[in-house]
Structures are given as C-alpha cells and as structure tokens.
C-alpha cells in the first residue's frame, strides 16, 4: 500500500526530470513501489491538482510521465518565452518525417522513391534536429542506413507512441471529404420564356468550357460580337408551310435544291 510520502516522491522525481520519466524507472528508485502503483500514484496526484485548481497536470508522453501546464495558463507561459526561438519544419521536412514515421525503418532511397526528389539535405537536417535517428542497416545491396523517429518527434507532436499516429484510412477519408467540399461550382443564368433558369456547371467534371461560352449583350439581349468589329449574323427564320399537293412532281426547297419525287 502506497503512502502519501511515496506519492510526493513520485511527484518530485517527475518534476525534476527534464525528460519523460518511465514508470519502471520510478519504481526502481522507490522501495516497495511497482510500476502499476506508480500509475495509481500519478492518477491520485492529478485528482489532487484538479480539486485544488492547480495549473499543471501529469501526463503520459513518449513512454514516460511529464508535468505540463493546463491550457488555461499556457498563454502566460508562452508570453514569457516569446523570445525563445521555436523549431520550424519546412514542407519537405514534414513530408520526409511522415514517410519515416509510417514506414520506419526506412532507407533514404525508399524516401526518395516516394517523394520523387533527392532527400539528402532534408534527412541530414532532421538528424541534426534529433527528429529521426539511425536504426540500423537494411539487408540489401550496399547495406544502406535505415531511419526511424525519436522521442523528440513524439514530444514535438504530443504523442505517447507511434501507435497514436492517425491511421492511413482516416487520412484518406479526410482528404476525400476535403476534395468534395472544395469542388468549385459556377452559376450561370439562361434566359427563357418562363423568366430565367439557374444552371450549375461543375468545373471539375469538364462540363464547363470557357472557350465556347457566348457573351450576351445586356442592352440588346443578343449575342455579342464574336470578333472585333463583327457582329453575329442574324438568321432569318420562316414559318414552316405544308407542301402543296397540287402542281408539278418536283418540289423545290428554299435553298434551291431540286428533289425528284418518283410518281410511280
């Protein structure tokens, strides 16, 4: 049975540690305490912090326990450290880091095959920032180095382990939903005898062709000039009449074409 002294000791060790402290290591430093009892002590401490309105809690991150500031007070802490330079990752670094996180252990050649560009410099920068590390060598020709993520990667993204990363199926569903929401729609008004009908042409599926659009003159209501200084020729429409049953056995059309009719 753990005592309040043991809980306070767990608290002191976690507070003094600059890195996340695993429960196994805490249990080794406190006599009569098991890793499961360390977890119970952390839960008891968090309950005490909540009841007293404390500004921090203990969380499990990167395989260990670490004290963190609750969101209500992070703004004040950030303002105090506003001059501190924060590590920034470029898009190329994020792409490479994502490949390493989901494919680890992975070689540089495999990273470049996925990205389609050389990644020597990006891999070198991630190694310097301690976001990735060398995990060994692949059993292929040349024995290339293999890379994997580090605890610094977990702390940077607030993860307890790589198992907490979003699943690929979840990412694909998110991308698909974003594409559906971002499809552009073009609204056109087509004049008709009934007063106007609204058409929605989807640009993404190719039903809208900007090269074949017809400009309408607002004053005349007729198609605008197709070329500079040239108007659209007007068509002279004549009412259709029934052909006469009497007369010759040849019927002439308006275009001047003679159509022979077989009387037999």
Question: Mind listing the pLDDT tens digit for each residue in 7-43?
Answer: 999 999 999 999 999 999 999 999 889 999 999 999 9
DSSP state of 86: P
Q: Provide CATH code, domain 91-174.
A: 1.10.10.10
pTM for the structure as a whole: 0.45
Reported as a pLDDT band with limits 50, 70 and 90, residue 113 is very high
**CATH of 4-80 among 1.10.10.10, 3.40.1190.20, 2.40.30.40, 2.40.50.140:** 1.10.10.10
Reported as a pLDDT band with limits 50, 70 and 90, residue 253 is very low
Q: What is the pLDDT of residue 157?
A: 86
Q: Which residues contact 32 (CB under 8 A, 6 or more apart)?
A: 6
* Parallel, antiparallel or unpaired: strands 145-149 and 185-190: unpaired
Separation CA 194–CA 206 (nearest Å): 28
Helix axes 120-128, 108-115, angle to 10 degrees: 120
Query: Within the chain, which residue ranges are assigned CATH 1.10.10.10?
Result: 4-80, 91-174
CA 157 from chain centre, in angstroms, equals 16
Residue 53 has pLDDT above 70, yes or no: yes
Helix axes 91-103, 108-115, angle to 10 degrees: 120
């Amino acid at each position: 049975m753990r005592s309040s002294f043991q809980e306070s000791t767990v608290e002191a060790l976690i507070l003094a540690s600059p890195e996340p402290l695993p429960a196994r290591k805490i249990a080794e430093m406190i006599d009569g305490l098991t890793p499961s009892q360390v977890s119970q002590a952390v839960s008891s401490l968090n309950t005490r912090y909540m009841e007293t309105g404390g500004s921090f809690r203990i969380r499990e991150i990167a395989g260990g326990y670490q004290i963190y500031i609750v969101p209500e007070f992070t703004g004040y802490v950030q303002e105090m450290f506003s001059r501190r330079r924060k590590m920034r990752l470029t898009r190329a670094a994020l792409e490479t880091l994502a490949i390493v996180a989901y494919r680890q252990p992975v070689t540089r050649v495999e990273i470049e095959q996925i990205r389609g560009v050389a990644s020597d410099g990006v891999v070198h920068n991630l190694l310097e920032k301690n976001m990735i590390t060398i995990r060994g060598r692949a059993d292929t020709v040349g024995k290339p180095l293999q890379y994997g993520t580090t605890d610094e990667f977990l702390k940077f993204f607030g993860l307890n382990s790589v198992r907490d990363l979003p699943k690929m199926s979840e990412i694909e569903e998110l991308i698909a939903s974003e594409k559906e929401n971002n499809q552009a729609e073009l609204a056109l008004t087509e004049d008709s005898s009934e007063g106007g009908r609204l058409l929605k042409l989807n640009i993404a599926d190719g039903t809208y062709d900007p090269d074949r659009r017809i400009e309408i003159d607002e004053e005349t209501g007729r198609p605008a000039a197709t070329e500079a200084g040239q108007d659209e020729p007007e068509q002279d429409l004549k009412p259709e009449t029934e052909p006469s049953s009497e007369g010759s056995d040849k019927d002439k059309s308006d275009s001047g074409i003679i159509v022979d009719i077989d009387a037999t």
